[in-house]
Amino acid sequence: MRHAFADCILDTETLTLHRKGQAVSVEPQVFDLIRLLVENAERVVTRDEIIETVWKGRIVSESAFSARIAAARKAVGDDGKAQTVIRTVARRGLQMVAPVTPGTSAASPPLVPNRTATPRLRYTHSDSGEALAWAANGDGPPVVYCGYSQTDVELDWHCAAFRPLFDALGTRHRLLRYDPIGTGRSDLSLKDVDFGREAEDLRAVADAAGLDRFALFSQSGGCLTAIRFAAQYPDRVTRLVINGGYAQGRSRREDSHGTETIRGLIADGWNKPESSFALAFSLLYLPEGPLQMAEEMVALMRRACPTENMLRFRDAVNDADVTDVLPRIACPTLILHSRHDTVHPLAQAQKLAMGIPGAELAILETANHVPLPGNPVWEDFLALLLDFLPE
């Protein structure tokens, strides 16, 4: 059924939301919250009802609860000050105050496809002339995503492990993603890996997108590039998020156990779809899964990056050490790290927090290297991320 309210249409059959004729990308929990309020229009829906419907009765933090309300309001063109669509009733719950017309069809405004539903690839060039692929989606304060070293801006968009994150960021921000040299849709010619040079590639992409100042959100190997960039260009970074990052690569640590094992796994199985590599790699980095999602993510990374390039990335991250540049980072910094991460232990996140002036460290109760949708810590992770990034 399609429900019309304000300038929106919520379709509970196709699970879509449109505003002013344009599709609005919302994550599932935000959609469920809007649907609950629409189907109970004018009635005050209690907090307990919301938690039961949206979170299936699980315990939820106040920050996660508030983040979903803010995202729902933004999706329907409302905000916490105006509250012309969704009103907060103090100490009771939420109320849909905009008139709702259920069952609309022919009288509804035409639905226009969201032109940003599939971001279009664009290209710029590094200082040395290699092609760099990038894409952007969403509106709002800009955020540049430095993901894994093995990204593909086109395939990542269709991956269940990545898309919910991109959609959540895109509802509040202009999200810019790009592929480093040697992976994805960028130039695959890669002689060596230098994170200072990769920071300059990030600058080239930001310049091409017309971004002067922006927030940086980094995960795993991408954290090294983001840290270098924030240190080299402190006047351009408004905020920095480091998820699954580390100050020193595995071969630079006192305990380098497993370094050669991981490299051997890559050398032997990266380009062999029939091998058990994907399962072994998934269990090493993402032991709590969901397993199918973790395997899909690893398969995508294998498609994005040739074996020889992956080995160059692996050698570079193993030998990396950014402790000397940490004091030069001047922006507010949030470090999100898994308590039981065996790939990059919590001690590495603590080194980052101690080295970056004013940095904050939030510990996630999981063994996954980074959170995945469907993992118990996913909602808390998303709430912490969105709360920290600029509105």
So what's the pLDDT on residue 143? 97
So what's the pLDDT on residue 67? 87
Better-scored residue on pLDDT, 235 or 2:
235
Element (H, E) at 379: helix 378-388
Poorest-confidence range of 12-21, 61-70, 220-229, 360-369? 12-21
pLDDT tens readout for residues 19-37:
877 778 788 889 999 999 9
CATH: 3.30.465.10, 3.40.50.1000, 1.10.10.10, 3.90.1310.10. Which one for 2-102?
1.10.10.10
Which CATH superfamily includes the segment(s) 122-388?
Answer: Alpha/Beta hydrolase fold, catalytic domain (3.40.50.1820)
Beta-carbon contacts of residue 20 (< 8 Å; ≥ 6 apart): 7, 77
Report yes or no: 363 and 346 within 8 Å, Cβ to Cβ.
yes
Which band of pLDDT confidence, cut at 50, 70 and 90, is reported for residue 276?
confident
So what's the pLDDT on residue 256? 57
Domain residue extents for the chain: 2-102, 122-388
So what's the pLDDT on residue 255? 67
What is each CA distance from 241 to 230, 276, 378, in whole angstroms? 11, 33, 16
pLDDT tens readout for residues 155-181:
999 888 899 999 899 889 999 999 999
So what's the pLDDT on residue 279? 77
pLDDT tens readout for residues 302-337:
899 999 999 999 899 999 999 999 999 999 999 999
pLDDT at residue 115 above 70? Answer: no
DSSP-derived letter for residue 251 is G
The residue to which tokens 């032997």 are assigned: 268
What is the C-alpha to C-alpha distance for residues 91 and 34, in angstroms, rounded to an integer? Answer: 19
Supply the Cα-derived Rg of the chain in whole angstroms.
Answer: 22
Which band of pLDDT confidence, cut at 50, 70 and 90, is reported for residue 280?
confident
Mean pLDDT (the chain) is 88
Report yes or no: 44 and 92 within 8 Å, Cβ to Cβ.
yes
The pTM score is: 0.71
pLDDT tens readout for residues 240-267:
999 999 999 988 987 655 556 677 777 7
pLDDT at residue 216 above 60? Answer: yes
